[in-house]
Amino acid sequence: MTDPTLSALLEARRPTRADARRNFDALVESGREAFAEHGVDASLEDIARRAGVGIGTLYRNFPTRDALVEAVYLDEVAGVASLADELGELPPFDALAAWLRRFADYASRKRVLIEGLNRDSELLQTCRNLMFESGEPLLRRAQENGEVRTGIGIDDAVRLVAGVASVAFPTPGQRERVLEMALDGLRTRPNHGGPSV
């Protein structure tokens, strides 16, 4: 369910020549890595070096730091949104859990990117809406299959995993265990005479 507006925004930024497109994509990937490691103030020279291009190539593609931050953010959102389309063959809960895990990975990097963007921007609102629209069918399918509690909305599920993603864990294993507990909390529970859930 990739949003045509987001696709248009991404494509409008990409060059048409194959070699220029490769450089653009390498810079976005290098920017993602550098921003994750050093925040949005990461060295642009380092980003260019990681991409294997000169600083002039970086500035031709991204005249400002904000332009690069925005491109990385759009690419991240597009990746999460497009994953929803690829999960249709999985059982309903597994598809939802896979999407929420990818969202948690995105959310752990998003904080750094949001620092570099205007929080009230139209772009951020478009991306937020796209994220919710891509996950909603997965949640609904899992609920219809009786695997996820009714009364939970996609906003609830996203905030749950975003909360886990925002915590610093001493090891990836602990992060994974806590995320697994959070996802397990979405599941329906048999009613053994107690209050319904």
**Do the domain assignments include residue 142?**
yes
pLDDT at site 114: 59
Which pLDDT value is given to residue 81? 85
Per-residue pLDDT at 194? 44
- Could you list the mean pLDDT of each consecutive 10-residue stretch along the chain, which spans 197 residues? 58 79 92 86 94 95 89 84 88 95 81 57 77 92 95 92 86 91 91 48
**So what's the pLDDT on residue 66?**
84
Q: By CB neighbour count within 10 A (0-12 exposed, 13-18 middle, 19+ buried), where does 37 fall? A: exposed
The answer to the question of residue 76 being in a domain is: yes
Report pTM: 0.76
| Residue 189, domain member (yes or no) | no
Task: Give residue 45's pLDDT.
Answer: 95
**Which pLDDT score is estimated for 191?**
64
Number of domains into which the chain is organized: 1
CATH number at residue 180: 1.10.357.10
Residue 19's pLDDT is 86
User: Is residue 99 a contact partner of residue 138, using CB atoms and an 8 Å limit?
Assistant: yes
State residue 118's pLDDT score: 54
| Cα distance between residue 96 and residue 108, in whole Å | 18
> Residue 56 is part of which domain span?
4-184
Q: How far is CA 128 from CA 96, 111, 188, in A?
A: 18, 13, 27
